[in-house]
Amino acid sequence: MSRLNIEAELNGPQLEAVSALEGPVLIIAGAGSGKTRVIAYRIAYMLEKGIPQSAILALTFTNKAAREMESRVRELSGKKLQSLTVSTFHSFGVRILREEIEKLGYRKNFSIYDETDRNQLIRDSLRECRLSVDGVDLYKLGQIFSNVKIGRLRWGEGADSGFERVYGEYQNGLKVYNALDFDDLLVLPIQLFEEHPEIRGKYRTRYRYIMVDEFQDTSLIQYRLMRLLAEADSPGGNCNICVVGDDDQSIYSWRGANYENILMFERDFPGVREIKLEQNYRSTTTILEAANGVISNNTNRKGKTLWSGNTGGKPIELFHPQTESDEADFIARRIRELCLRERRNYDDFGVLIRTNSMTRAIEEAFLAENLPYQVSGGTSFFQRKEIKDILSYLRVIGNADDDVNLLRIINTPRRGIGKTMISVITDLARKNHSSLWDAMGRLRYAPDTLFPDAAKGRAEIDHFMNLIEFYRNEILGSQNRKGWHLSQQVRSLTDNIDYWSYLMSEYSKNEKIAHWKFLNIESLIRSIETWESNPDNLNPTLYPYLNRISLITSGDGPDEGPDEGARGKVNLMTIHAAKGLEFPVVFIAGAEDGIIPHARSLEEGDGNIEEERRLFYVAITRARDKLFITSCLRRRRAQFQKQAGDEPVADSRLSPFLAEIPGHLVEYHEPEKALDAAEAEDFFARIKSQFA
């Protein structure tokens, strides 16, 4: 009956970590020490002990990790998972807010704003305050807003008070549009719990067993949210909370992650049981020694000794391609070769990069080499213009007050509502402190004399509103006469607005792009089909769908059909996106100074070099058997060339972290062509002495 045999399948510390269900537990789990496995076993063990699914909450860092966790638990326990909660902090916040947000004065159909939507709103807020948008870095300002919202900065203390009014405008906009930004998804649940103890009590009674993965990357507000749920409400009360982390893998401090949470945890939850997992099951000793050599240069760490039973291992190979396209070709050819010679599957390979912009060259090489691959990260599928357009329609159908999305589509495709009409609507909305939709409603049937400026565009507005209302009825209304699925409705909508013609005219110079974008929409629709035809999906309707996709960013493409090729696909992703994953063979591309460590990161502060080093450490430890590192001699700096003849390429220097890898582990491959510059020769003489 019992499928679980934890004694036989786990080592001592792992067993301890799995079976210590009661009380606060801190698991320090080194890279490759079976962390994910331990959490999955732990949940399965709970289920076997008769703890109800609904009492368990597992918080992960990405949606991908959540999905993986769930499927492992399903496999281990052999049970159908119906009320088990495995999600990211943000999705968990959404889940709470969809239930309770009315107590905070929002409506349940709130929109969730991504970076782009948010920048748009910040831009409007600046304009509203009569400040120029030029010269303001919207990204930076967004960071300030975020820091104020989560309480890391106050106006006048770290946050320039000149923007306080803009922030007020921004917050007001969110409220009127019934929209939340990513921070709200954490801050509002906290507010809710603090202002409404009965709601907090409800969730606390429900979730009696809480686990947090990647604890080192938990931000302060995430920690507060967790604490509100987990803290014992009376002395000696229940607080079955288990956090798992590794300070060496903390790579999100720029997003507010604070590995000192580990110290806070020990303080806030007295009697913590600490368990260390130090045996690495993943990598060869070569790879592990290299990783240890690198990370030991960090001063700011708890310190632990990772060891592996897999002795030996192939050397790490370091190559110097000339340019990034040579690098890409090299990686593609090497993968092809290993597939043939060692009978590797495509999905045995992980190609790791520091920035999303590095994907393009590599993708091109993969296409040329005909390698099946998948990208996590980059311009995420859901960020593409055509996808955002269609989704904006769905968002407006779901929440008509969402001005940012409404503005995106009100005249896309062109329907004769131009700047002037929009400013009439905007003015009216401002006067009434209402959303644009509300203002349009007032204009729609009003006599011309009341709003003479709007007289001309009234027909167009009416037409647009009819369109939205028609689909709102179709999709949300009880009289869904045709009984169509969401995917069918979306298809009908795209036809109805004639998006295809819009693409053709918009990209008339390049029909291929238009066609490609149309295919993207097709694949969006297909992914909705896949999603709604999943038998586990009990409620395949608009709102659950919007919830789901709002929190998907990179790392997740559209839902794909079940059948993959038997040999899988090569994985191409940023190092950040690779956290928690492993591959038999790993390529680290662009191990150059300025890339790892990234120049922009070092600009911001001295402490960042350690974070960049941890990033490199994470990259190395993704590899099981074999690691390749490439470092180009020259790299294109800016994507933009003014002249075709100009070469916007600069010499690259080796990443300083490479010198931290013990030389005897590395097989060094000289570049095929020597560089012209004498100093470059010097440079390679130095590297050669390091690794030869």
Partner DNA sequence: GACGTTACAGTTTTT
Partner DNA sequence: CTGTAACGTC
CB nearer to DNA: pick between 342 and 522: 522
Active site residue 249: yes
What distance in Å separates the CA atoms of residue 129 and residue 315, rounded to the nearest whole number? 60
CB nearer to DNA: pick between 419 and 481: 419
Q: Does 553 bind DNA (CB under 7 A)?
A: yes
What distance in Å separates the CA atoms of residue 146 and residue 562, rounded to the nearest whole number? 39
**How would you class 470 by CB atoms within 10 Å of its CB: exposed for 0-12, middle for 13-18, buried for 19 or more?**
middle
Residues touching DNA, count (CB under 7 A) = 58
What distance in Å separates the CA atoms of residue 446 and residue 424, rounded to the nearest whole number? 14
Stretch that binds DNA, among 296-304, 326-334, 534-542, 634-642 (CB under 7 A): 634-642
Stretch that binds DNA, among 27-35, 477-485, 573-581, 684-692 (CB under 7 A): 573-581
Q: Does 418 bind DNA (CB under 7 A)?
A: yes
Number of residues in the chain: 692
Q: Does 412 bind DNA (CB under 7 A)?
A: no
Q: Do residues 378 and 111 make contact, with C-beta atoms less than 8 angstroms apart?
A: no
Name the DSSP letter for residue 592. B
What distance in Å separates the CA atoms of residue 297 and residue 290, rounded to the nearest whole number? 12
Give min distance, CB of 78 to DNA, in A: 29
* Count of other CB atoms within 10 angstroms of residue 105: 8
Stretch that binds DNA, among 112-120, 204-212, 333-341, 471-479 (CB under 7 A): 112-120
Give min distance, CB of 143 to DNA, in A: 9
Stretch that binds DNA, among 162-170, 433-441, 528-536, 550-558 (CB under 7 A): 550-558
91, 218, 435, 655: which one contacts DNA (CB under 7 A)? 91
58-77 footprint of DNA as x/- string (CB under 7 A): ---xxxx-------------
Q: Do residues 673 and 646 make contact, with C-beta atoms less than 8 angstroms apart?
A: no
Task: Output Rg (C-alpha) for the chain, integer angstroms.
Answer: 27
Burial string for 320-332 (b: 16+ CB within 10 Å, else e) reads bbbbbbbbbbbbb
36, 77, 85, 88: which one contacts DNA (CB under 7 A)? 88
Cis peptide leading into residue 447 (ω within 30°) = no
425-464 footprint of DNA as x/- string (CB under 7 A): ----------------------------x--xx-------
Catalytic residue, chosen from 117, 124, 214, 625, is 214
120, 527, 652, 655: which one contacts DNA (CB under 7 A)? 120
What is the maximal distance between C-alpha atoms in the chain?
Answer: 86
228-257 footprint of DNA as x/- string (CB under 7 A): -----------------------xx-xx--
CB nearer to DNA: pick between 40 and 421: 421
Q: Do residues 588 and 327 make contact, with C-beta atoms less than 8 angstroms apart?
A: no
DSSP 99-125: HHGGGGT--TT-EEE-HHHHHHHHHHH
What distance in Å separates the CA atoms of residue 84 and residue 46, rounded to the nearest whole number? 11
Catalytic residue, chosen from 395, 408, 614, 622, is 622
Stretch that binds DNA, among 68-76, 230-238, 316-324, 408-416 (CB under 7 A): 408-416
CB nearer to DNA: pick between 77 and 356: 356
CB nearer to DNA: pick between 33 and 608: 608
226, 421, 521, 585: which one contacts DNA (CB under 7 A)? 421
Active site residue 651: no
Q: Does 261 bind DNA (CB under 7 A)?
A: no
- 594: tokens are 């300025």
Within residues 176-195, the interface with DNA by CB under 7 A covers 182
- Name the residue among 97, 175, 204, 227 with its Cα closest to residue 434: 175
Residue matched to tokens 């009360």: 237
CB nearer to DNA: pick between 88 and 494: 88
Residue matched to tokens 């690495």: 280
CB nearer to DNA: pick between 269 and 657: 657
312, 483, 536, 640: which one contacts DNA (CB under 7 A)? 640
Q: Does 650 bind DNA (CB under 7 A)?
A: no
Which sign does the torsion angle of CA 361, 363, 364, 369 carry?
positive
What distance in Å separates the CA atoms of residue 540 and residue 586, rounded to the nearest whole number? 38
Active site residue 621: no
**What is the signed CA dihedral for 649, 651, 653, 654, rounded to 10 degrees?**
70
Give min distance, CB of 414 to DNA, in A: 4
Query: In angstroms, what CA-CA distances link 151 with 144, 146, 147, 157, 220?
Result: 10, 8, 6, 11, 9
Contacts of 478 (CB under 8 A, 6+ apart): none
Query: In angstroms, what CA-CA distances link 446 with 366, 424, 450, 526?
Result: 59, 14, 7, 42
CB nearer to DNA: pick between 73 and 141: 141
The number of CA neighbours under 13 Å toward the Cβ of 316 is: 30
Stretch that binds DNA, among 82-90, 267-275, 309-317, 531-539 (CB under 7 A): 82-90
Active site residue 438: no
CB nearer to DNA: pick between 253 and 284: 253
Within residues 578-607, the interface with DNA by CB under 7 A covers 598, 600-601, 603-604
83, 133, 463, 511: which one contacts DNA (CB under 7 A)? 133
Q: Do residues 395 and 110 make contact, with C-beta atoms less than 8 angstroms apart?
A: no
Q: Does 137 bind DNA (CB under 7 A)?
A: yes
365-394 footprint of DNA as x/- string (CB under 7 A): ------------x------xx--x------
198-217 footprint of DNA as x/- string (CB under 7 A): --------------------
Contacts to DNA by CB under 7 A: 61-64, 88-91, 114-116, 120, 123, 133, 137, 139, 182, 251-252, 254-255, 354-357, 377, 384-385, 388, 411, 414-421, 453, 456-457, 505, 513, 551, 553-555, 574, 576-577, 598, 600-601, 603-604, 638-640
Residues labelled catalytic = 35-36, 213-214, 249, 622
